[in-house]
Amino acid sequence: MNRRGITALENTTFEDLEQLKTTKNELTRFMMTYKFAIDEVNTKLNILKEEFQYIHDYNPIEHSISRVKSPESILKKAYRKNCGLSLAAIKENIQDIAGIRITCSFISDIYKVSEMITKQRDITVIERKDYIQNPKPNGYQSLHLIIKIPVFMSDRVEHTFVEIQIRTIAMDFWASLEHKIYYKFNKEVPERITRELKEAAVSATELDKKMERLHEEVKVIKNMENEEQQHVSDSPMNGEIRQLIGLLK
């Protein structure tokens, strides 16, 4: 440590150290709150997934990932938004510090999952943006929700923002590649590539619609097969056969 650093350390008072410790604890708690909020939402998603799997023999959620923005990213966004750098100002004005992305197989699953989430009693929907019905100009599609969820700490309840993005596998694939291309060109993507990305988004949409139609056809066929099996099992002859089998046991 150089002489200036030693002098600064020597001049540090007990009150300064206490203030530094308090600031560190507040920042740690601030970041942990968003982690706990994600944990709360993920727990709800896991329950919904298991319930659907057991009761409906089907899971509308393919997979999900979550993240909490780094302190550096949070400060950069606060600076861009000019909302102030206090923790209180950041908490109120930046709503995507905690984020969860849910990937579904079909477009109908997106709305099904969204409804299941928003019907939770302790979740408050702050904002809903449907980029599936109204895609962005570049072709981006997804359903965005900003929710508030209570996080129960040892001495308080923190109502915390979480951003949820719900999209199909095709939408997620397109968005991931578009994001990589966008930053590879330092946000200045050539017009030709922009045009081809838009065309790819249209192709992804057509694929989603086609898979949705096939999914519905399979459900209809499956229901018809189940009805036929039920009709056979309910026939009088079937009942007599079951009785004979019972006597032979």
Model pLDDT for residues 40-88, shown as the tens digit of each residue: 999 999 999 999 888 877 889 999 999 999 999 999 999 999 998 899 9
Residue, of 224 and 77, whose pLDDT is higher = 77
* Residue 127 in tokens: 């904002």
* Residue 111 in tokens: 């709305």
Residue 242 CA: distances (Å) to CA of 225, 226, 228, 230, 249? 21, 19, 18, 15, 11
CA distance 117 to 68: 20
* Residue 224 in tokens: 């018809």
Q: Which residues form the catalytic set?
A: 163
Query: Is the distance from CB of 91 to CB of 77 less than 8 angstroms?
Result: no
State the Rg of the chain over Cα. Answer: 27
Query: Is the distance from CB of 87 to CB of 26 less than 8 angstroms?
Result: yes
CA distance 135 to 138: 8
127-166 b/e with 16+ CB inside 10 Å = b?
eeeebbeebeeebbbbbbbbbbbebeeeeeebebbbbbbb
CA distance 96 to 82: 16
CA distance 165 to 64: 10
In one letter, which amino acid is 176? S
- The pTM score is 0.81
- Tens of pLDDT, residues 133-191: 999 999 999 999 999 999 999 889 999 999 999 999 999 999 999 988 887 777 678 88
CA distance 98 to 68: 5
Query: Is the distance from CB of 142 to CB of 167 less than 8 angstroms?
Result: yes
Residue 232 has pLDDT above 60, yes or no: no
Residue 213 has pLDDT above 70, yes or no: yes
Strands (E) located in the chain: 61-68, 98-104, 124-130, 143-152, 157-168
| pLDDT of amino acid 182 | 81
- By residue count, the chain amounts to 249
| pLDDT of amino acid 9 | 47
In one letter, which amino acid is 12? T
Q: Is 82 helix (H, G, I), strand (E, B) or coil?
A: coil
Handedness of CA 170, 176, 180, 182 (dihedral sign): positive
Architecture of domain 18-248: 2-Layer Sandwich (3.30)
Cβ neighbours, 10 Å, residue 36: 17
Half-sphere exposure of 93 (CA within 13 A, CB side): 17
